Chains A and B, each alone.
Chain A
Amino acid sequence: MSNSSFDHHITVFSPQGHLYQMEYALKAATSGNNTAVAVRGNNTAAFITQKKVPDRLIDASYLTSIYKITDTIGCLMIGLQPDIRTQINRVRREAAEFRFDNGYPMPVHVLAKKIADLNQVHSQEASQRTLACMCLMIGVDDEKASQVFKIDPAGTFLPYKAVATGKSEQDAMNFLEKKVNEFENMDEENTIEMAISTMQHILSTDFKPTEIEIGVVTLGKRFRVLNNEEVEERLNSIQTKAEE
């Protein structure tokens, strides 16, 4: 803990070398009650999160954590909803401008780096606060097939074979680490099922298709969010395999 409150006001280093505002922003981003998991398979990638409707009076069809950025890139954002909205606006704009300026779709790793760099600026310039949102970005392109990136408020971004973030991040990562060798050969359906199994493991309850949201992208196909029937199919498939 810092002994000088000066550190807490703007983005300066504490005597111990911490950037406290970044740490607080990270806390704000993962303070919600949900967890998100993303998994990369063979030429495919999928992510999953819980869908919680806080109130019966809210129209649930408007709530989502999954956002399509381009035909081949999708983002799952958790954190403060208003910050997420602004961040998504930026991500979409960057991707669209790239496509317009360069004539070809923005590769995922370039977009991830761009967003991470934008986040980093806020940690160095005092003019604007950091946006409290964690981004899991999945995409396919012809350079590197499928990729999964996690971008945090401080501007760190890393490619992953599988990653989790949010409340049960540690549990999920432990689960995924044990299975990491299976990922390379997984096709679309198996990738989705791996993501669902991770979720089932962390939550240790059964869930209905309406309580989760899944997004998937595969080489040759567009990014899409699974509808209830497709989720149901995958849940049944996991059930059948477990019984064998």
Chain B
Amino acid sequence: MALRVFALNLIKTNRNLLQSSGKINGGCSVQVVTSATYATQVTVEATPAAVQKQKVSKAMKAYLKRANEHDEFMKTQHLDFQIGKRHLANMMGADAETFTQEDIDEAIAYLFPSGLYDKRARPAMRSPDEVFPARKAAEFDETGRPFHSMFYTGKPNFFQLLHDIVTETKKLNDLEERMLRRGNKPDDNQKLETAGFQLLPKEQLERFLVEHIADIEYQSFCSSMDRLIASPYAYKSRAFIERFLKPLIDQSKQLEVPKPKIDEQGRQYVTTYECLRKTARADVTVRLPGTGKITINGQDISYFSMEQSREQVSVEDLIKVVL
């Protein structure tokens, strides 16, 4: 700890005394406005004493050195990335200013074609922020005092998050109490949509918090979030919750609906080729102003000799395939 010594010395006119007092205080620099030696009083302006040389611990020194090295390293990487991007744009004949990450991906895929199965193994060029794992900024100041109050838990961000979740839950509970007393109900139109979402998986949460999390801790995070989301007034904390919801892919939206063609009689029809089931192959045609009849290789449903097969193919389902 730096000791700032404010020394106020009233010094007698005697110069010798002044000299000796200077020696006694040992390096306390005092600006002495000395007038003539015959003066009776001397005004001394007190200034902070020479700051004692701060004893920075070796750990602190090493930490600062590492932090600086990392910053330097990231700077060079960013620079390299920018230069590389411009080179790449030049090679592809595109405008270097408006060269997006998607363009980079396309260019790399074109210049370095790879047949590797795993996409993550293929050559890629991404911003150093994505490539190098995020590090925490200085968690404590020069004196060694941590900034975060929960620093000594080892995982301040994670535990802060849990505290935040509980705070939000309490807030919503209080709100619910007040609404019940007034006889109000939660707004159904604003209800939080959780059907197409799942909670952030453990790896993504670790990246978000820049901390390593144990499985048990992740489970407690999940159960706390479930509790918060289950509250009827969860939509009030939408901004907070949506940070931790990951959207799931809707399978049906991936499918392309085929366009119907018109046949000679003017009816619409759609034919799907190569429909598979074990080693069976079929081309299926569905017509829109239909009769509800099924024809398989010229036969009706008795093509399936097994009763179980006929039961499995429900007629209602076939008619329901609407174009």
Q: Do A and B bind each other?
A: no
